[in-house]
């Protein structure tokens, strides 16, 4: 997540998950601006990016496609949290049992530009990581918020992705006038990191495609393609496990003709 300080107040990009994290954030924002949060922009609909609005502000902006996914969270938050953080919901029932999920107040489908004093925020639909993912470009600062289409220190999460859109996006944002990329998870980074993720996906796509063309069964593909040389971060068993999952999603999408 991140923040842009403007003359109408801070604009948050995504939100923290827990109230104590939101309190810390409010204190940090207070050092940067006297004004209250002007808007929260959701980069996509996943719970770990949106539920913190309940503690911060209802003035939310997102892609139109987030409405369904965020609406789903209203009755299924426990299930979603348990998928990724098995103990968290149980430990923090005090928070999650009564959490008011905040749907976006303003939505768009392709592009939306906010002109606020000397800051411009260009919001563009991208898809890729999720069906309603967007990027937010601040041209004056040469900063690009990538949402979960980029992660550092971990592989990006591919469970609900469209690889075709995602690879196109990474190629496109590498060409943009950007100095600082802000990922959905991990530290800020430069073009080399974006390139590393793109090369990983491209190597996977090309090798998976070759295997499937040769008639290799889906469950054998990962062992055949030796992706270790193309990983965008140092090798570990955990990374390879996720990579095997990424490959199985890639197989399905190639078989279905998505890329
Ligand atoms: Zn996500």
Per-residue pLDDT tens, the chain, 259 aa: give them.
999 999 999 999 999 999 999 999 999 999 999 999 999 999 999 999 999 999 999 999 999 999 999 999 999 999 999 999 999 999 999 999 999 999 999 999 999 999 999 999 999 999 999 999 999 999 999 999 999 999 999 999 999 999 999 999 999 999 999 999 999 999 999 999 999 999 999 999 999 999 999 999 999 999 999 899 999 999 999 999 999 999 999 999 999 999 8
How are beta strands 134-138 and 39-41 bridged, if at all?
Answer: unpaired
Owner of token pair 């913190």: 52
What pLDDT does residue 96 have? 95
> Angle, nearest 10°, between helix axes 237-255 and 191-213?
60
Q: How far is the CA of 214 from the centre of ligand 1 (A)?
A: 33
Q: How far is the CA of 135 from the centre of ligand 1 (A)?
A: 13
Owner of token pair 């929260």: 40
Q: How far is the CA of 46 from the centre of ligand 1 (A)?
A: 5
What pLDDT does residue 226 have? 87
Are 134 and 14 a contacting pair, CB within 8 Å?
no
Which ranges constitute the DSSP H helices of the chain? 19-32, 47-50, 53-56, 66-84, 88-91, 93-96, 163-175, 191-213, 218-225, 237-255
Q: Is the dihedral of CA 195, 258, 156, 202 positive or negative?
A: negative
What pLDDT does residue 135 have? 98
Q: How far is the CA of 157 from the centre of ligand 1 (A)?
A: 7
Ranges of each domain in the chain = 1-108, 194-255
How far is Cα 141 from Cα 7, in angstroms, rounded to an integer? 16
Q: How far is the CA of 148 from the centre of ligand 1 (A)?
A: 5
Q: How far is the CA of 102 from the centre of ligand 1 (A)?
A: 17
Q: How far is the CA of 155 from the centre of ligand 1 (A)?
A: 12
> Any idea which architecture 1-108 has in CATH?
4-Layer Sandwich (3.60)
């Amino acid at each position: 997540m991140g923040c842009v300080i403007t003359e109408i107040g801070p604009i948050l990009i995504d939100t923290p998950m827990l109230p104590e994290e939101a309190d810390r954030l409010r204190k940090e924002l207070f050092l940067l601006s006297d004004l209250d949060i002007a808007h929260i922009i959701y980069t996509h609909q996943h719970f770990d990016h949106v539920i913190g609005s309940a503690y911060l502000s209802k003035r939310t902006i997102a892609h139109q496609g987030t409405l369904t996914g965020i609406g789903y969270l209203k009755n299924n938050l426990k299930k979603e949290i348990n998928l990724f953080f098995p103990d968290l919901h149980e430990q923090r029932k005090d928070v999650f049992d009564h959490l008011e999920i905040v749907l976006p107040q303003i939505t768009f489908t392709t592009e939306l530009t906010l002109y606020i004093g000397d800051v411009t925020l260009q919001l563009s639909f991208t898809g890729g990581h999720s069906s309603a993912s967007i990027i937010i470009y601040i041209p004056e600062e040469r900063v690009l918020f990538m949402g979960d289409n980029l992660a550092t220190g971990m592989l990006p999460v591919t469970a609900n992705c469209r690889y075709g859109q995602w690879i196109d996006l990474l190629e496109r944002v590498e060409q943009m006038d950007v100095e600082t990329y802000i990922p959905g998870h991990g530290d800020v980074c430069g073009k080399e990191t974006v390139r590393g993720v793109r090369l990983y996906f491209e190597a996977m796509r090309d090798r998976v495609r070759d295997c499937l063309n040769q008639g290799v069964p889906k469950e054998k593909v990962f062992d055949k393609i030796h992706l270790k040389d193309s990983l965008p971060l140092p090798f570990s068993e955990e990374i390879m496990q996720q990579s095997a999952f990424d490959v199985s999603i890639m197989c399905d999408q190639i078989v279905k003709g998505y890329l």
